[in-house]
Structure 1
Amino acid sequence: MKIAIASGKGGTGKTTVAVNLALALEDVQLFDCDVEEPNCNLFLDFELEPVEEVTCLVPEINPDKCTLCGNCADFCKYNALAALPIQIMFFPSLCHGCGGCSLVCPAGAIEEKPRSIGRIEKASSSQTSLKFLRGILNIGEAMATPVIRSLQRHLDESRPAIIDSPPGTACSVLAVIGGADYCVLVTESTPFGFHDFLLALEATRALNVPVGVVLNRDGLGDSRVEEFCRAEGIPILLRIPNDRMIARLYSEGIPFVKEMPDWKEKFEDMFETIKALACKSTGVQ
């Protein structure tokens, strides 16, 4: 079973929920798919080792064969290629690696070569029973989705997986939610939190993924999220209060299930609720 932890915006407590949920359970996997800024390991402090380099195939143009016909530049909808009178210019950061330019080149002047865009890392197996992997997008790269796809290939389908999604509703988020059996939306009952929660909820509905809500910093703001969820029949899975102790532990990089044992049981109960809801919605065991 794959559970995506998502949010309409950053800073709502998505990573806090993902890490504490994973630590409260046995024999689970934790995947940090927020590849532009992975921060689960700030709370885990695992020693990480490389798993693989993620590459994207990009064109390499042979000037001796190129006839400057411009077919490649005309084909590229991302403007990664530009046809000039004396050469074809290539902008690697704009290339999506579709390979179409090589197909439309009549002279066979384009060959695809791999270019590194990120990497996958994992926790040393001798350190923990928790299987933890994360993806990291190289600085300056625009395409997070290929790194997420590579990370998802390491999922063990026989074990539950907690997946920390990027915030928002961009393509990288949809890549995570679309492959999940259930989505937990973490939000705050504030005007900004409610607005962005609605955007994230719309994304889950478009992907037909069952969803529940965690209210973080409960007691701060108003009741608009709770009232909306009640009206729409969306379960509120957990309430995390606006608690000074939880905030202090977070600021020190300490998952609060380690210092507040009663929360371990609350996260375990939330997991059992999710399993029952997911089974009811999709038949996933």
Structure 2
Amino acid sequence: MNIGVLSGKGGTGKTTVSTNLAYILKAAYIDSDVEEPNGFIFLKPEIISSEEVKIAYPVIDDEKCTNCGKCAEACQFNALVKTKKDIILFQKLCHGCEACGVACPVGAISFEDRKIGLIEVGMSGDIKCMRGILDIGEPLAVPVIKGLLKRIDSNGVNVIDCSPGTSCNVVNTLQYVDMAILVTEPSEFGLHDLKLAVGLVRKFNIPFGIVINKESSDKNIIRDYCEKENIQIFGSIPYEREIAEIYSNGNMLVDNEKYRNIFKGIAKSAKAVIEWN
């Protein structure tokens, strides 16, 4: 059972919800926000393994190359450019699809691997924790995300901390998700981006519910929207200074009994949405 925790925008409390929910459910925590994976700050796992993520890039044999340009024509990402003298490779634009090698009529292209990130596995008490880390300066997050999600145990319960927004990073993660929890905040920006996230999970036909973070009143634009759209609210987290202090110190909200009960309620609501095994 894979539970995806996502948000239309950054800063809504997605990682707060996913880490504390994983703790309550005794589920594995998977941080697929590979450009800024910060869930380990709170769960503090002991790292037990680390594996490099690599993608292939073309190497052109100048002695064989006839500069016909067919490789550049085949590249959908403009990583190869034909000039008057030779073929230029923009390595970080290459997605490793190897279409250029298929297109080359003289067999002038071979492939080598380069590192773009890491996958780390650790344990926080009884909770298994995994995260992908995209190398600084690398533009391609999806290969790291795919490499991470292929390693999760599909027989267990996994809480997947998704990337913010609705980009291809999130789309690729949702292919592994059985249900979704959308974290939002009661603001105009929060509502705008929540609508995008709702549209995305509905396209995937994924059952979902909402968690409202930083809520100061039970009458707000998020609740009005959810009522209008018939969307279930799993729970809300109050807008309180104490929460900000706990979070800023890198601690878990569930260590506080008052906030633990909030996440127990969220977990209970989430279980009721789908057949829980």
Q: TM-score, normalised by structure 2?
A: 0.96
Equivalent position of 2:181 in the other structure: 184
DSSP-derived class of the 1:77 partner: coil
264, 267, 277: which is aligned to 1:271?
267
Q: Structure 2 CA distance, aligned partners of 1:228 and 1:99?
A: 46
Query: In the alignment, is the contact (CA less than 8 A) between 2:8 and 2:190 conserved in 1?
Result: yes
Query: In the alignment, is the contact (CA less than 8 A) between 2:19 and 2:29 conserved in 1?
Result: yes
Equivalent position of 1:2 in the other structure: 2
Shift of 1:86: 1.5
Structure 2 gaps of 5+ residues are: none
| Percent identity between the two aligned chains | 42
Query: In the alignment, is the contact (CA less than 8 A) between 2:235 and 2:265 conserved in 1?
Result: no
Q: Does 1:217 align with 2:210?
A: no
Q: Does 1:21 align with 2:21?
A: yes
DSSP-derived class of the 1:89 partner: strand
Q: Structure 2 CA distance, aligned partners of 1:159 and 1:272?
A: 18
Q: Structure 2 CA distance, aligned partners of 1:18 and 1:64?
A: 54
Q: Structure 2 CA distance, aligned partners of 1:30 and 1:92?
A: 33
Q: TM-score, normalised by structure 1?
A: 0.93
Q: Structure 2 CA distance, aligned partners of 1:200 and 1:10?
A: 12
In the TM superposition, 1:245-260 aligns within 5 A as: 245-258=242-255, 260=256
Give 2:164's aligned amino acid: P
Q: Structure 2 CA distance, aligned partners of 1:170 and 1:54?
A: 21
In the TM superposition, 1:1-150 aligns within 5 A as: 1-26=1-26, 28-123=27-122, 125=123, 128-150=125-147
Q: Structure 1 CA distance, aligned partners of 2:270 and 2:116?
A: 35
Q: Deviations over 1:55-76 (max 9, x none)?
A: 1111111111111010001111
Give 1:169's aligned amino acid: T
Q: Does 1:154 align with 2:151?
A: yes
DSSP-derived class of the 2:170 partner: helix
179, 200, 207: which is aligned to 1:203?
200
Q: RMSD of the TM alignment (CA)?
A: 1.5
DSSP-derived class of the 1:167 partner: coil
- Per mean C-alpha deviation after superposition, the further-off stretch among 223-232 and 32-41 is 223-232
DSSP-derived class of the 2:114 partner: strand
Shift of 1:179: 1.6
Query: In the alignment, is the contact (CA less than 8 A) between 1:189 and 1:224 conserved in 2?
Result: yes
Q: Structure 1 CA distance, aligned partners of 2:135 and 2:54?
A: 11
Structure 1 gaps of 5+ residues are: none
Q: Deviations over 1:99-131 (max 9, x none)?
A: 1000010000001211111110111x4x52100
Q: 1:221 to 1:193 in 2, by over 3 A?
A: farther
Q: Structure 1 CA distance, aligned partners of 2:92 and 2:85?
A: 22
DSSP-derived class of the 1:74 partner: helix
Query: In the alignment, is the contact (CA less than 8 A) between 1:145 and 1:171 conserved in 2?
Result: yes
Query: Which stretches of structure 1, 4 residues or longer, exceed 3 Å deviation after superposition?
Result: none
Q: Deviations over 1:108-162 (max 9, x none)?
A: 0001211111110111x4x521000100011111111110111011211121100
